[in-house]
């Protein structure tokens, strides 16, 4: 798929994996729309890339529709990359045997609401807009990328909510691709492993923690770079024969219980 002369929406695009993806898509000739709740970072990056920023809580339909409109007003929306998501760590039961110490059920709902329901909200609305595009020579109107996690298969202790939400994205991949094939829209999912993103903070303690994480990686023995994730996103968007796939990007790591 030709990414030039078209627009691309990246949710969670203000930092980390999303920001690297926005830069890669801009370099490929797309008009990038960064959808995020971090207005300051998002607007700064959009200005740097000559794109646009849209305040976007992916669970809010009005926000998502507005972000899509920002993209389609500029050029046909042909690429959507879903990077927005949140994390939570809490064991299913507490140490004292009390019901009160069991996993916060509202937190579980919130993680699933953002990571799974929110992503689906973006897909259903963006695909609707894409379906009105003129098809290319292969009948293709667009392509989407979902961002899961290797925790979908190897969730660690305390990751019940996060793993469930990311596992839901993996399970969505094939039925979404089947649903959207009728209008020529491909859907793929990337399940990243341990990546060096702002989630780990900064400073000596942060670097020490990241070094410990990297020790479990098979090869190369380091955390992934955001640009490596962005490179795989571009390949999934450009490769017309790649559809309904979940791709692990993890340097061979397999997560232990903790």
Q: Which residues are tagged catalytic? A: 162
- CA 201 to mean position of chain CA atoms: 20
Q: Which of 81, 89, 74 is nearest to 158 (CA)?
A: 89
CA dihedral 173, 239, 185, 166 (to 10 degrees): 20
Q: Which residues of 192-209 are buried (b: 16+ CB within 10 A; e: fewer)?
A: bbbbbbeebeeeeeeeee
The answer to whether the peptide bond before residue 35 is cis (omega within 30 degrees of 0) is no
> Which uninterrupted H or E stretch holds 172?
helix 160-180
Query: Could you tell me the strand order of the sheet in which 7-11 lies?
Result: 52-55, 31-36, 7-11, 77-82, 142-147, 185-192, 246-249
Cβ atoms of 149 and 191 closer than 8 Å: yes
220 Cβ partners below 8 Å, 6+ apart?
A: 251
Tell me the angle at which helices 160-180 and 119-130 cross, rounded to the nearest 10 degrees. Answer: 20
- What sign has the CA pseudo-torsion 108, 111, 116, 118? positive
Tokens of 14: 């203000």
């Amino acid at each position: 798929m030709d990414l030039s002369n078209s627009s691309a929406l990246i949710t969670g695009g203000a930092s980390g994996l999303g920001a690297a993806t926005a830069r890669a898509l801009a370099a490929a000739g797309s008009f990038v729309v960064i959808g995020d709740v971090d207005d300051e970072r998002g607007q700064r990056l959009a200005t740097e890339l000559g794109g646009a920023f849209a305040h976007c809580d992916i669970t809010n339909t009005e926000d998502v529709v507005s972000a899509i409109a920002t993209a389609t007003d500029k050029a046909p929306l042909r690429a959507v990359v879903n990077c927005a998501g949140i994390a939570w760590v809490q064991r299913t039961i507490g140490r004292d045997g009390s019901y009160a110490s069991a996993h916060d059920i509202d937190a579980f709902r919130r993680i699933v609401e953002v990571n799974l329901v929110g992503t689906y909200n973006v897909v259903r609305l963006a695909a609707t807009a894409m379906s009105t595009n003129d098809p290319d020579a292969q009948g293709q109107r667009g392509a989407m990328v979902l961002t899961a996690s290797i925790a979908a298969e190897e969730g660690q202790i305390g990751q019940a909510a996060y793993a469930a939400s990311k596992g839901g994205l993996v399970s969505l991949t094939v039925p979404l691709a089947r649903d959207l094939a009728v209008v020529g829209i491909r859907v793929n999912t990337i399940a990243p492993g341990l990546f060096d993103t702002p989630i780990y903070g900064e400073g000596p303690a942060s670097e020490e923690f990241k070094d410990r994480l990297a020790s479990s990686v098979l090869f190369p023995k380091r955390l992934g770079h955001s640009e490596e994730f962005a490179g795989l996103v571009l390949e999934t968007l450009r490769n017309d024969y790649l559809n309904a796939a979940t791709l692990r990007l993890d340097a061979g790591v397999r997560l232990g219980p903790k």
